[in-house]
Amino acid sequence: MQQRWNDILWNKFIPMLRLEFTANQPKLNEADVMPLTNQVIIPDDDVPIEQPNNLKIPLHVIKTCTHDFNERNFIGKGGYGRVYKGTLTWADHINQLVAVKRLDVTRFQGFCNDNKEMILVYEYATNGSLDAYLHDTSMFGGLSWPQLFKICMGVVSALDYLHNHVAEKHRIIHRDVKSANILLDENWNAKLSDFGLARIGLANQRNTFVITNLAGTYGYTDPQYERTGFLTKESDVYSLGVVLFEVLCGRLAYVSGYHDERRFLHHLARTCYKNGELDKIIDQRIKKDIKPRTLSKFSTIAYRCLHKNREERPTIADIASQLTEAWKIQFTR
Which of 85-89, 165-169, 240-244 is least confident?
165-169
Whether the Cβ atoms of residue 221 and residue 214 lie closer than 8 Å to each other: yes
Task: Report the distance separating Cα 225 and Cα 173, nearest Å.
Answer: 12
Q: Which of 93, 106, 87 is nearest to 15 (CA)?
A: 106
The model's confidence at residue 165, banded by pLDDT at 50, 70 and 90, is confident
* The pLDDT of residue 196: 73
The model's confidence at residue 152, banded by pLDDT at 50, 70 and 90, is very high
Q: Is the pLDDT of residue 50 over 70?
A: no
Dihedral (CA of 223, 225, 76, 250) sign: negative
Top-confidence residue, 30 or 145? 145
Catalytic residue flag (residue 176): yes
Q: What is the per-residue pLDDT across 266-277, written as a single tens digit (0 to 9) for each?
A: 999 999 999 999
| Contacts of range 88-92, beta carbons closer than 8 Å, 24 or more positions apart | 88/57, 88/61, 88/121, 89/61, 89/64, 89/65, 90/57, 90/58, 90/61, 90/65
Which of 65-69, 171-175, 210-214, 298-302 is least confident?
210-214
The model's confidence at residue 208, banded by pLDDT at 50, 70 and 90, is low
Q: What fold is seen in the domain 2-123?
A: Phosphorylase Kinase; domain 1 (3.30.200)
* pTM for this entry: 0.70
The catalytically annotated residue of 176, 222, 236, 283 is: 176
Top-confidence residue, 246 or 138? 246
Mean pLDDT of the chain: 79
Q: Is the pLDDT of residue 65 over 80?
A: yes
Task: Report the distance separating Cα 100 and Cα 210, nearest Å.
Answer: 31
Residue numbers belonging to the annotated binding site: 101
| Contacts of range 214-223, beta carbons closer than 8 Å, 24 or more positions apart | 215/175, 215/176, 216/175, 216/176, 217/176, 217/178, 217/180, 217/253, 218/254, 219/252, 219/253, 219/254, 219/264, 219/265, 219/266, 220/176, 220/177, 220/178, 220/253, 222/310, 223/308
Q: What is the per-residue pLDDT across 246-261, written as a single tens digit (0 to 9) for each?
A: 999 999 999 888 888 8
The mean per-residue pLDDT over the stretch 313-331 comes to 95
The model's confidence at residue 101, banded by pLDDT at 50, 70 and 90, is confident
End-to-end alpha-carbon separation of the chain, Å? Answer: 52
The highest-level CATH class for domain 130-331 is: mainly alpha
Q: Which of 82, 6, 18 is nearest to 51 (CA)?
A: 6
Top-confidence residue, 173 or 35? 173
Proportion of the chain above pLDDT 70, given as a percent: 77
Task: Report the distance separating Cα 20 and Cα 332, nearest Å.
Answer: 18
Top-confidence residue, 121 or 282? 282
Task: Report the distance separating Cα 314 and Cα 296, nearest Å.
Answer: 16
All structural domains of the chain with their residue ranges = 2-123, 130-331
Q: Are strands 81-90 and 93-103 parallel, antiparallel or unpaired?
A: antiparallel
Residue numbers belonging to the annotated binding site for ATP: 101
* The pLDDT of residue 167: 78
Whether the Cβ atoms of residue 120 and residue 38 lie closer than 8 Å to each other: yes
Backbone angles phi, psi at 171, to 5 degrees: -135, 160
